[in-house]
Amino acid sequence: MIRTGSSRYGALLGKELLELARSMKLIWVPLVFVALGIMQPVSLHYMPVILEKAGNLPEGAVIEIPPPEAAQVMADTLSQFGVLGMLVLVLVFMGIVSGERGSGTASLILVKPVSVSAFLGAKWSSMLLLAWLSLLAGYAAAWYYTTLLIGPFSFDAFARSLAVYGLWVAFALSATLLFSTMLRSAAAAAFCALGLMAALSLAAGLLPRYASWSPGALGGYAFLEAQSVLERPDAFLWAITVSVLLMLSSFALSCLMLRRAAAID
C-alpha cells in the first residue's frame, strides 16, 4: 500500500515537472531570478559611470560614491527577490489547483485511485523545487558578480541567508497553494497570498518586538544572516518553528478542503 501510494505520488510529480518543462517555466523563471541577482552588484559597481553619462554635470565634476560592502549588496539582492521574485512565483502558481478544478482536470485525476494528499503533495513539491532552484540560481549569480565586482562574501553567510530566505519562499508558496485550493479564481488566490505576505512582512517591520516569531520576520533574519549580525537566535528559532508548523498546517488544510469539495467541481 505504501509502495503504491509513493509510486502514484512519483507519477504525479513527474507530470507536474513535465508540465513545467513544456511551459518553459523551468527555464524562464530561474532566468528571471538570475537577472535580478546580477542587477544589484552590476548596477552598484557601474553607478558612478551611469551617473556621469546620464547626468548633465559641469565640466571637471567628479562623482565619488563610497564603495558598497559585499554583505550589503547580497542583502539588497534578497530584497529584490522579495518584491519582484516573489511576485513572479505567486503569479506562476496562483492557478495550480483552481485552474485544474475549473478545467475539470482535477476531477479526472481524483476519480481514479489517487489520494488528495498525493495530488496536492506533487504540486507542492514541484512548486518548491522550481522556487528553490530559481532562488539558488539567482543568489549564486549575485554571489559571483558581487565577489567579482565588489568584494569577497563568505560561503557560510551565503548558505545561511539562502536557507533562511528559502524557508520564507516555501511559506509563501504554501499559502499560495492553500488559497488556490480555497478559491475558484486564480487572481483572487494571488491577491490573498501576496496580501498575506505583505501584511506579515509589514507587521514584522513595524512591530519587531512582538512579531519576531512570525514567518514575516524570516526575510529580515535572512538579511541579518547575509550581514552576519543576527542578534536574537531564540526569536529566530521560534520563527523557523512557527513557519514550518504553519506550512504543514496549510498543506493539511488544503487537503481537507479539496477532499470536501463537492465532486471536486
Transcribe 64-96 into DSSP letters.
--PPPPHHHHHHHHHHHIIIIIHHHHHHHHTTT
List the grid coordinates of 24. 518553459
Instruction: Report pLDDT for 166.
Output: 95
Instruction: Report pLDDT for 128.
Output: 96
* Phi, psi of 150, rounded to the nearest 5 degrees: -105, -55
Per-residue pLDDT of 121-171, as tens digits, reads 999 999 999 999 999 999 999 999 999 999 999 999 999 999 999 999 999
Instruction: Report pLDDT for 33.
Output: 96
Instruction: Report pLDDT for 122.
Output: 93
Q: Tell me how far apart the alpha carbons of residues 207 and 212 are, in angstroms, rounded to a whole number.
A: 8
Number of domains in the chain: 1
Counts for the chain of helices (H) and strands (E), in that order? 12, 0
Instruction: Report pLDDT for 53.
Output: 65
pTM, 2 dp? 0.89
Which residues lie closer than 8 Å to 67 by C-beta, 6 or more apart? 150, 151
Cβ(176)–Cβ(193) below 8 Å: yes
Cβ(94)–Cβ(176) below 8 Å: yes
Instruction: Report pLDDT for 64.
Output: 64
Q: Tell me how far apart the alpha carbons of residues 44 and 149 are, in angstroms, rounded to a whole number.
A: 9
Range of the domain at 195: 2-264
Instruction: Return the closest-CA partner of residue 142 out of 40, 32, 29.
Output: 40
Instruction: Report pLDDT for 7.
Output: 77
Cβ(77)–Cβ(135) below 8 Å: no
Instruction: Return the closest-CA partner of residue 196 out of 213, 173, 220, 212.
Output: 173
Which residues lie closer than 8 Å to 171 by C-beta, 6 or more apart? 215, 218, 243, 246, 247
> What amino acid is encoded at 108 in this protein?
L
Instruction: Report pLDDT for 178.
Output: 94
Instruction: Report pLDDT for 227.
Output: 87
pLDDT along the chain (265 residues), means of 10: 66 90 93 94 77 61 70 90 91 89 77 83 95 96 94 92 95 95 90 94 86 90 87 85 96 90 51
> What amino acid is encoded at 156 in this protein?
D
